[in-house]
Amino acid sequence: MTHSIAIDNHPSFVYGSLRDPRVLNSVTRPGPEANVCTVRGLIHGFTRHPYHNEPYPGMIASEDKTQTVDGLLLFGLTIMDRFRLDQFEGSEYTREVLSVQVLDPVTAEYNPSGPLKEGDMVTAYVYVFTGPVEHLDRTRSWDYEAFQREQVAKWIENDSHLVEGDDA
């Protein structure tokens, strides 16, 4: 018996802890049928800062439109993946549809509108920080490499709620 998996046509752009595949997989819990394409992306006119006393960042609009935030574009996520991401992000992040620059090619298999090449722009779901801006340390940028080196193992071990919940 074959099950139809509902694929979301919009890619997602992740710029923080979800860039690490261990964290992303802990949240989305992909099944054996998962077919996600991950490519580098860049969003213009935003900046990323650490959330005070937490290992993750928030991304906010920048007054300096030359500012950019790098991250990953995820093509091929399911509707259930999107639901789990919405739950993970919580109330201080709002899912918005924004333009993201593609930094690696994407085949038509993953993008219903056709293949994408480096430099193309695509609309993607992005979780923008909309909580109180004082919750972010705007004196510095968030450091992904430091997160991987110092936090990701503790994050996954301590946040068992990432893999608890529904059995879907």
pTM of the full structure:
0.87
pLDDT, position 5: 63
What lies within 8 Å, CB to CB, of 42 at 6+ separation is 68, 69, 70, 71, 100, 101, 103
Residue 145: predicted pLDDT: 93
* Fold entry, domain 12-154: Hypothetical upf0131 protein ytfp (3.10.490)
DSSP, residue by residue, 54-122: SS-EEEEE-SSTT-EEEEEEEES-BHHHHHHHHHHH-TTEEEEEEEEEE-S-B-TTT-TT--B-TT-EE
Task: Calculate mean pLDDT across residues 26-55.
Answer: 89
Q: What percent of the chain has pLDDT over 70?
A: 89
The predicted pLDDT at position 72 comes to: 97
Give the closest residue to 36 by CA, choosing from 21, 58, 49, 48: 21
Bigger pLDDT: 162 vs 13: 13
Per-residue pLDDT at 162: 46
Task: Fill in the amino acid letter for 70.
Answer: D
Identify the pLDDT of residue 138.
95
**What pLDDT does 159 receive?**
59
Predicted pLDDT of residue 167:
37
Q: Between 15 and 29, where is the model more confident?
A: 15
The β-bridge relationship of strands 37-44 and 93-102 is antiparallel
Domain range annotation of the chain:
12-154
pLDDT tens digit string along 13-28? Answer: 999 999 999 889 888 8
Task: Give pLDDT tens digits for 120-156.
Answer: 999 999 999 999 999 999 999 999 999 998 888 887 7
